[in-house]
A = this chain, B = another copy of it.
């Protein structure tokens, strides 16, 4: 399936840069690729420990950072909370975050390219990246 394909790509990239392929790393990458819910490090750790009980939290942190540097996962920064990660869409994209249940959704946004272009033109900045987060209350939480 699609996860296997990306896993192979990431492993190839690791090999190519002389990083070692370890069972822990594979487990961490798989967890990140399979999860739909933008997990935090702690959540990945819990998942990985099911099959590799001796894995340490530091290893998860280090691997997550490595993957971030390789551009294979996206970090979603949370002030005053733990960061969360998106292993499915590793490029910058907007998020819609429910402030009640912490659910994160990836909405379709049309206007971002245009906005970025206008901004660059108006300010003289070269824009490399962005972090666009919308906060609100999801449909389910609005009912309660």
Contacts and interface: CB of A to CB of B under 8 A. Distances in A.
Interface size class of A (residues with CB under 8 A): 35 or more
A53 interface: no
Given A75-B79, A77-B78, A134-B119, A128 B109 contact: no
- Count the copies: 2
A123 interface: yes
A129 B135 contact: yes
Interface of A: 75, 77-80, 83, 94, 96, 98-99, 105, 107-112, 114-116, 118-120, 122-139, 142
Interface of A, secondary structure class, is: mixed
Contacts of A131: 131-133, 135
